[in-house]
Amino acid sequence: MECIFCKIVRGEIPTELVFENENLVAFKDINPVAPVHILVVPKKHIESTNEIETYDQPLVGEIFQVIQKLARQFGISDSGYRIFINTGGDGGQEVPHLHFHLIGGKKLGKCW
């Protein structure tokens, strides 16, 4: 089965991009759980955190820099936000392509 995020990266599926550079795309989640719910996705297909290699470290660092930028852009940097990654079936991963959720814009409850 073709990866839906790879299709988004290639422009084959329309989405509301909020950021793009040579390595990453970020877009609004189609089923947001908060007023701000953005997915930050590497253009390179990495299935999950289990497949991150040592040579991917600069990419992971760039992801966190982009998340900081987006938090400021969407006005949630000062009030607070949550970043999360789901890995594997038991971890709630639904799309087999590494992605980071940035959520905020409201008081978020505890995760556990």
Active site (annotated) includes residue 45: no
CA distance linking residue 12 with residue 112, whole number of Å: 37
Q: Please say whether the beta carbons of 87 and 37 come within 8 A.
A: no
Catalytic residue, chosen from 37, 97, 99, 101, is 99
Residues in the chain: 112
Do the Cβ atoms of 9 and 41 come closer than 8 Å?
yes
Radius of gyration of the chain (CA): 14
Catalytic residues: 99
